[in-house]
Amino acid sequence: MNTCRQDRHAVVRLAGRLDAHTTGTVRDRLHAAVREGDGLLLIDLSALDTIDVTGLGVLVGTHRLAERAGRPIALRGTPRRLARLLHVTRLDRFLPTVPAEDEDAAAVAVSSAA
């Protein structure tokens, strides 16, 4: 997991597993990224291998924190299975997804979801 800035945006790239064993660390990093910036927060999932219900909870919790802070977020490079799960659970209504490396689409997706 690493965090970088691209223009006004912060990008947090998750890799490996997002499950009960890793959610504490990931949650802390994502929440810090929300508090430390003011532009779009992109959560890059392109290197994510596995996510479970606790991982989904971290994404939802991060969305809630960002919403309270007035900070838009989007998921980038979402694996196909996760994108389908987000759609079935209707989480895609407030966790917009964009193709990998497409920040312009992220800005549009976030404004459409608002």
Give all domains of the chain, ordered by start, each with its CATH number.
2-113 (3.30.750.24)
Strands 9-18, 41-51: pairing kind = parallel
User: pTM (2 decimals)?
Assistant: 0.83
Find residue 2's DSSP bridge partners: 13
Ordered per-residue pLDDT tens for the chain, 114 residues:
677 666 677 899 999 999 999 999 999 999 999 998 889 999 999 999 999 999 999 999 999 999 999 999 999 999 999 999 999 999 999 999 988 765 554 554 455 444
